[in-house]
Chain A
Amino acid sequence: MTDLLNALVHLTSMLIIPGLAYGSQLALGALGVTLIFGVLRFSSFAHAEGLSMATAITILFTIWLQGMGLSAGVLPTALLGMVLAMPVMALVFIGTDRALYRHFRRINARPEVFMIVSAGVMLMMNGVIRLVIGADGRDFEDGERFIVTARGFRDWSGLAEPLVLKTSQVLTIGIAALATVALFWFLNRTQAGRSMRAYADNRNLALLSGVDPDRIVRLTWIIAAVLSVLAGVLFGLDKGYRPFVYQQLLLPMFAAAVVGGLGSPVGAIVGSMIVAFSELALTFAWKKALAYVLPAAWAPQGMVQALSTEYKFAVSFLILVIVLLVRPAGLFGKVAR
C-alpha cells in the first residue's frame, strides 16, 4: 500500500503536474496559432517569437515595477507586469498586421506568401528581442517559489517520495483554465465572438451579413496577444526565460494545433495535452515508479526510458506525422481545404 502511494506521489510530482503545466502553456500558445489560422488563414511562424517578445516586455515591466517597490506579495511580480504587457503586445500585433498582413489580405495572397511574411516578422522580432534583452535569458520569478516543498511533504506524509508543487505550476494551470473558459465564453456567448467564428467559417457569408472584417482581425490579434503574454510568461516563470528555448516552442505548438485540427480551439487544448504528456511520458525514466509497483524480482535494471530527453521534439513531430498521415484534418478539424 505504501509502495503504491509512493509510486503515485512520484508520478504526480514528476509527471502529472509538470505535464499539466506544460500542456497548459502549450495550449495557450496553440490557441493563438489556431485562432490566427482560423481567422486569418495562415500558420504564423512568428508565433513563438511573439511569446518570447511578450515575455521580454513583461520582464521589463516587472523590473520597472520592482524598482518602484511594487510587488504581488507571495505571488510573482510578473503577474502585474503581464497585465501591463498585454496592451503593448496587442499594439505590436495590430501594428504588424496594419503594416504587412493587411496588404496581403487585400490582394488575396496565397497562404505561402503569408507564411513567408510571418518568417520575416519572426526574424525581426528575434533581433529586436536580442537587442532589448540580450541573447542569454534571465529568471524573473520572485515571491514564494513553492506551495508544497519536498521536505514539507515528506515530514507531513511520512512517505519516501516527495511531492513538489511549484507556485508557477499552480498559477499556470489555474490561469490557463480561467483564460480558456473566458475565451470559450467570448467565442460562444458574445456577439463579437460569434461574428468571429462566422468570419472564420465562411468569410464571404459573414461579410454579406454585415460583419466588419477589420474589427474581427483586430479582435483576433488582441486575443492572440493576451494568449501570447499568458503562455510566454507562464512558461518563463516555470522554466526561466531563454530566447533560444522559446524558438523551439514553435514545433510543439504547431503540432498541438495540427493534432487538434487547425482552426479548432477545443482541438488546440486537447492537442496540447496530447503533445505535452507524450513528450514527458516517452522521455520519462519509469524505473522508480515501476520499482515501487512491481515485485522486487521484476524490478527493472535500466532507466526504462523510451527516448532520451534530447529527443523531446521528436515526439511532438512524430505525433504530427502520424496525425497528418491518418487524419490530416486533425482530431476536431473539418475536412482540410
Chain B
Amino acid sequence: MSRTPLLFAAMAAVLLAVGLLQSWQLALTILNLCLISAVMALGVNVQWGVAGMFNVGTMGSAAVGGLAVVLVSTPPVRAAWAAGGGGLLATGAVLLATAGLAALLWRRMGDRSLLRGPAVGAIVLLGLAVSQRWFLPATAAIESVDAASTGYLGGLGLPVALSWIIGGLLAAAVAWPIGRLTAGLRSDYLAVATFGISEIILAVLRNEEWLARGVKNVTGLPRPVPFEADLQAAPWAQHLAAWLGWSGRDTASVLVKLFYAAWFLAVLLVIWWALERLARAPWGRMMRAVRDNEEAARAMGKDVARRHLQAFVLGSAIVGIGGAMLVTLDGQFTAGSYQPLRFTFLIWVMVIIGGSGNHKGAILGAFLIWFVWVQAETAGLWLAATAAAALSPENPVRLALEEGPAQLRYVVMGLILVLVMRFAPRGLIPETTPETPR
C-alpha cells in the first residue's frame, strides 16, 4: 500500500502550493478547517465505516459540541443565575420527577399495554404543563438580564481547551438516549430519525436564548492561543517578522493560525491513534463482524444492538469534539449557521471519498473535500470572470454567472459523491483488514 503516503504527500503539496501561490494565511485557514473536518469525519467513520450505521444527525453532535464551548469557557452571568437559576432548578426537578414517574408507570403497567401508552403520555404532558409555571418566568427573567450583551446563563469560565473534552462528553450524553431509541431501527428509519433529531437539537439551540443566546450568537469566546495584537508586540515575533521580511501583522496572523493548527493536529493524532488501536483490538474485529454480517454475529452471541449503541455514542462524541474545536476556531457560537448540507452531508462526502472503514481514508477525504469546497468557489469565480468578460455588464447571463460560483460547490460536491459511489465505491484508500495478531 504505497498509495496512502503518496496521496497524503500530494495533499500536502497542494496545500503548500496554495501557500506559495495564494497566501500562507489562506493555506493555514484551509489546513485548520481540514484538521477539524478530519476529526468529524473520523466520528462519522466510526459510525458508518466501522459499524455500518447510517446516521445523518452529524450536525446535531457538532452543534452540541459547539454549545459545550459556550457552557464551559464563557464567564458565568451571576445576575442571570440570580434572576432565573432557582426557577430553572425547579423546572428541572419537575421534569426529573415526571420522567421518573413515567418510567415507573411504564414498568408497572406492562400487563395492561392498551392503557399504558395513554397513561404515560398524560403524565408527561401534565409534567410539561406544570414545569411551564417555573420555566417561563425563569427564562424570561434570564433573557432580560442585560439582553443586548448577555441574557443567558453564561458558562463556567474554565479554559477553552477543556471544553473540547466536555464537548465530546456532552455529545456522547446526548447521543446515548438517541442511540437507545434508534439503534435497533432499520437503516431507513435510523436515517430519518437521526436526521430529525439533529434538526430538533438545532431548533432548541436557536430558540432557547437563556442557554446560549439562540440566534443572537455568543461572540468573543476565549481562545487557547494568544491574540494577534499581543504577538505583534512580543519581541520574538518581531524578530521573526524581520527575519522573514513580512509585516508584523501578517506574521502574527500566520503564527496564531499555526498555533491553532498545532492544537488541532494534536487532537486529531490522538483520536486517530486511539481509533487505529481500537480497530486492531478485539472490539474492532467484532465491529467489522457485526457490520459485515449481522445475522452471523448475532448467532455467535454478539449483542448487535449494544455494539451499535457503542459505535453511535463514540462516533457522536468524536464529532462533538470536532464541533467544539470549530466553534473555538471561529471564536463565536452561531446557532443559525448550522445546516445539514454543510455539517452532515459534507462530512459524509468526506468519509465516502476517503474510503469508509479506513481511518486514514477518512482523514484524507476530509482534507481533499474541504480543499475542494473552499477552492471550488475560487475556481468558479475565475471561470465566471473569464466567461463573463465577453458579455456586457447588464447582461442577465453575466449577472447569473457572477452570482453562481458560491452555489456551484454544492453541485461539485454532489457530483463527486455520486461519481465515487458509482465508479470507486470503496473510496480513495479502500479499507484493509488488519492482520490478526499471533
Contacts and interface: CB of A to CB of B under 8 A. Distances in A.
A250 B203 CA distance: 15
Given A124-B414, A130-B410, A317 B199 contact: yes
B388 interface: no
A1 B412 CA distance: 63
A68 interface: no
B293 interface: no
B404 A131 contact: yes
A126 interface: yes
A78 interface: no
Given A100-B422, A112-B187, A123-B341, A326 B203 contact: no
A53 to B, nearest CB: 13
B414 A122 contact: yes
B207 A131 contact: no
Interface residues of B, number: 45
A130 B181 contact: no
A130 B4 CA distance: 36
Contacts of A121: 414, 418
B425 interface: yes
Contact of B189 (A116, A123, A128, A328): A328
A120 B203 contact: no
Given A308-B207, A311-B203, A111 B414 contact: no
Interface in A113-143: 113, 115-117, 119-128, 130-131, 134-135
Nearest to A115: B191
B413 interface: yes
B400 interface: yes
A177 interface: no
Contact of B117 (A130, A135, A326, A337): A326
Contacts of A326: 117
A120 B414 contact: yes
Contact of A123 (B193, B197, B410): B410
Contacts of A321: 181, 193, 196
A29 to B, nearest CB: 14
A124 B415 CA distance: 7
A46 to B, nearest CB: 9
B195 A127 contact: no
A103 interface: yes
B295 interface: no
Interface string A239-255: 00000000110110011
A22 interface: no
Given A130-B407, A313-B203, A116 B421 contact: yes
A321 B200 CA distance: 12
A251 B410 contact: no
Given A115-B54, A117-B421, A122-B414, A127 B408 contact: yes
Nearest to A46: B414
Interface of B is mostly: helix
Contacts of A37: 188
Contacts of B195: 250-251, 254
A130 B407 CA distance: 6
A37 B192 CA distance: 13
B197 A124 contact: no
Given A111-B187, A313-B199, A321-B181, A131 B417 contact: no
Interface in A80-132: 100, 103-104, 110-113, 115-117, 119-128, 130-131
A314 B128 CA distance: 15
A178 interface: no
B21 to A, nearest CB: 27
Nearest to A307: B128
Contact of B417 (A110, A116, A336): A116
Nearest to B408: A127
Given A317-B197, A321-B181, A336 B186 contact: yes
B410 A317 contact: no
B341 A126 contact: yes
B327 interface: no
A310 B45 CA distance: 32
B187 A115 contact: yes
Contacts of A317: 193, 196-197, 199-200
Interface in B399-431: 400, 403-404, 407-415, 417-418, 421-422, 425
A115 B403 contact: no
Interface in B167-204: 181-182, 185-189, 191-193, 195-197, 199-200, 203
Interface of B: 52, 54, 56, 117, 181-182, 185-189, 191-193, 195-197, 199-200, 203, 206-207, 340-341, 345, 348-349, 352, 400, 403-404, 407-415, 417-418, 421-422, 425
19 contacts: A42-B188, A100-B421, A104-B421, A111-B188, A112-B54, A112-B191, A120-B414, A127-B411, A127-B412, A130-B407, A255-B192, A255-B196, A310-B207, A314-B203, A317-B199, A320-B196, A324-B181, A325-B181, A326-B117
